[in-house]
């Protein structure tokens, strides 16, 4: 357990969600025969009471690094003035978190009460020892500290998406408050374009199955390293020798060794039972496009712009809460279509909406969900497209904001 708590504390730092030292250093506790922490901290007095009140084996406590600390502070204070909930509308939140509850006290009883119903709780700033230390996120796990790591990663991602989505919508309606302008100016420098040179990938053709596995592991790792996916969400696949090799459901893209399923195209085995929940969409895409490589990540500005609808059209929309699965409007970012759809099969499943889009373009954004890209023979093409589309979305976003702010 000591190894696990240290591992996931370090992963939060590597993901730039926490700091390597000081008050922003992650605090991770794990219960096996005994309760162990990755470091000593005053907060463990309260958190150990939380352990006693819940049937869990791990807790993760994080005061998020910037820009997450500032934007979560903004969202949390607004939530406390309303219903006590931050309510993002991205796919991760809808599917896994539902909403983000906020409380104003670092109190074991109140934390326990929330964590009995939700995977996380946000403590608003100003109530945790030193008010200057900002907000905190607490998440639990019943199997491993990985669960808390995943939840906190998702909270930071969802909060980022919500602030920038809400800010653009408020500007379009002429309702953005001064505090939102001030916060945007403070945190926009963190939303930098992807400046790294493109990495090298295992060249095509792949001579054997071992090389296929290595290429998929490499693609997943680089997708995480470049910030193109948060938490463990996202997936990757490659079609070779009449078999689709695809990351397993719930697998971390930066740790795919042993987490790749070979699924025969003729469905002659049951290997797909543990494959990504988007297996059907991958299989149909391979069939429609002839491409061999598929990457799926959650680049932030792709997700943000996918939910950026014209306010007038949005007010007249008949779908409201179902627009992410039923939106009929054809929208594009450059040549990349934005399509509705939900994970899995069914009338509005991605297996129906995504493949037709990818047969017309080598990239498609799913509303509130993320970006899918294809490569005819290799992952380099799919990766380069993902970087280019995300950079374009970021540019389109700031261009929209800048134009709207001219009228302030």
Q: List, in order of start, the domains of the chain with CATH numbers.
A: 2-190 (3.40.225.10), 209-404 (3.40.225.10)
Contact between 319 and 382 (Cβ < 8 Å): no
Contact between 140 and 58 (Cβ < 8 Å): yes
Contact between 148 and 27 (Cβ < 8 Å): no
Angle subtended by helix axes 108-115 and 44-53, to nearest 10: 40
Place of tokens 């061999």: 292
pLDDT bucket at 336, cuts 50 / 70 / 90: very high
Task: Record the tokens describing residue 288, joined without a space.
Answer: 């429609």
pLDDT bucket at 147, cuts 50 / 70 / 90: very high
* Rounded Cα–Cα distance for residues 118 and 133 (Å): 24
Specify the pLDDT at position 127.
46
Q: CA-based diameter of the chain, in Å?
A: 62
Residues in the chain: 408
For the chain, report the end-to-end CA distance as a whole number of angstroms.
54
| DSSP three-state, residue 338 | strand
Specify the pLDDT at position 309.
83
Phi-psi region for residue 47, left (φ > 0), alpha (ψ -120 to 50) or beta?
Answer: alpha
Task: Record the tokens describing residue 118, joined without a space.
Answer: 């939700």
Note if the bond before 9 is cis, omega within 30 degrees.
no
Helix residue ranges, H only, 81-144: 91-92, 108-115
Average of per-residue pLDDT across 204-226: 95
Phi-psi region for residue 126, left (φ > 0), alpha (ψ -120 to 50) or beta?
Answer: left
Percent of the chain beyond pLDDT 90?
A: 76
Specify the pLDDT at position 316.
67
Those residues with Cβ within 8 angstroms of residue 333's Cβ, 6 or more apart along the chain or in another chain? 302, 305, 365, 389, 392, 393, 396
Mean pLDDT for the chain overall: 91
Note if the bond before 239 is cis, omega within 30 degrees.
no
Specify the pLDDT at position 356.
95
Short-list 121, 120, 140, 117, CA closest to 28: 140
Average of per-residue pLDDT across 104-122: 95
Specify the pLDDT at position 126.
67
Angle subtended by helix axes 145-173 and 2-14, to nearest 10: 20
The region of weakest confidence among 205-209, 230-234, 353-357, 371-375 is 230-234
Contact between 107 and 173 (Cβ < 8 Å): no
Beta bridge partner(s), residue 141: 58
* Rounded Cα–Cα distance for residues 8 and 326 (Å): 38
Beta bridge partner(s), residue 122: 102, 137
Looking at the predicted structure, is the pLDDT value of residue 176 above 60? yes
Looking at the predicted structure, is the pLDDT value of residue 145 above 60? yes
Those residues with Cβ within 8 angstroms of residue 227's Cβ, 6 or more apart along the chain or in another chain? 194, 299
Looking at the predicted structure, is the pLDDT value of residue 165 above 90? yes
pTM for this prediction: 0.94
CA distances from residue 120 to 6, 11, 60, 123, 188 in whole angstroms, order as listed: 20, 18, 9, 10, 26
Helix residue ranges, H only, 234-332: 279-289, 300-306, 311-316, 323-326
Looking at the predicted structure, is the pLDDT value of residue 42 above 90? yes
Question: How many CB atoms sit inside 10 A of residue 179's CB?
Answer: 11
Looking at the predicted structure, is the pLDDT value of residue 129 above 70? no
């Amino acid at each position: 357990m000591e190894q696990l708590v240290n591992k996931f504390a370090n992963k939060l730092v590597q993901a730039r969600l926490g700091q390597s030292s000081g008050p922003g250093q992650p605090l991770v506790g794990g219960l096996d025969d005994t309760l162990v922490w990755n470091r000593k901290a005053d907060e463990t007095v309260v958190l150990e009471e939380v352990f006693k009140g819940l049937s869990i084996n791990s807790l993760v406590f994080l005061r998020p690094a910037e820009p997450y600390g500032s934007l979560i502070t903004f969202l949390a204070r607004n939530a406390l003035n309303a219903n006590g909930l931050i309510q993002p509308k991205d796919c991760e939140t809808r599917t896994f978190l539902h909403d983000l509850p906020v409380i104003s006290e670092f109190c074991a009883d109140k934390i326990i009460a929330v964590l009995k119903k939700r995977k996380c709780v946000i403590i608003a700033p100003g109530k945790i020892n030193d008010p200057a230390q900002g907000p905190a996120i607490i998440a639990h796990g019943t199997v491993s500290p990985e669960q808390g790591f995943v939840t906190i990663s998702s909270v930071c991602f969802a909060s980022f998406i919500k602030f920038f989505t809400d800010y653009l919508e408020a500007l379009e309606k002429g309702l953005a408050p001064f505090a939102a302008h001030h916060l945007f100016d403070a945190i926009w420098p963190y939303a930098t374009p992807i400046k790294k040179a493109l990495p090298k990938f295992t060249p095509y053709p792949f001579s054997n199955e071992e090389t296929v596995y290595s290429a998929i592991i490499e693609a997943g790792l680089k997708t995480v390293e470049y910030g193109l996916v948060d938490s463990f969400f996202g997936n990757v696949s490659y079609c070779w020798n009449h078999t689709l090799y695809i990351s397993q459901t719930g697998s971390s893209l930066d740790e795919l060794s042993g987490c790749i399923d070979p699924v025969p195209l003729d469905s002659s085995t049951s290997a797909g039972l543990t494959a990504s929940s988007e297996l059907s969409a991958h299989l149909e895409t391979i069939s429609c496009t002839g491409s061999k490589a598929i990457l799926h990540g959650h680049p932030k500005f792709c997700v943000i712009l996918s939910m950026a609808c014209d306010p007038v059209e949005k007010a007249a929309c008949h779908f409201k809460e179902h627009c992410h699965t039923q939106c009929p409007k054809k929208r594009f970012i450059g040549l990349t279509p934005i399509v509705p759809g939900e994970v899995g099969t069914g009338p509005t499943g991605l297996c129906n909406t995504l493949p037709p889009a990818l047969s017309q373009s080598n990239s498609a954004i799913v509303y509130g969900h993320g970006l899918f890209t294809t490569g005819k023979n290799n992952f380099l093409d799919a990766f380069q497209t993902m970087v280019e589309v995300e950079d374009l979305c970021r540019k389109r976003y700031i261009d929209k904001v800048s134009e709207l702010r001219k009228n302030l």
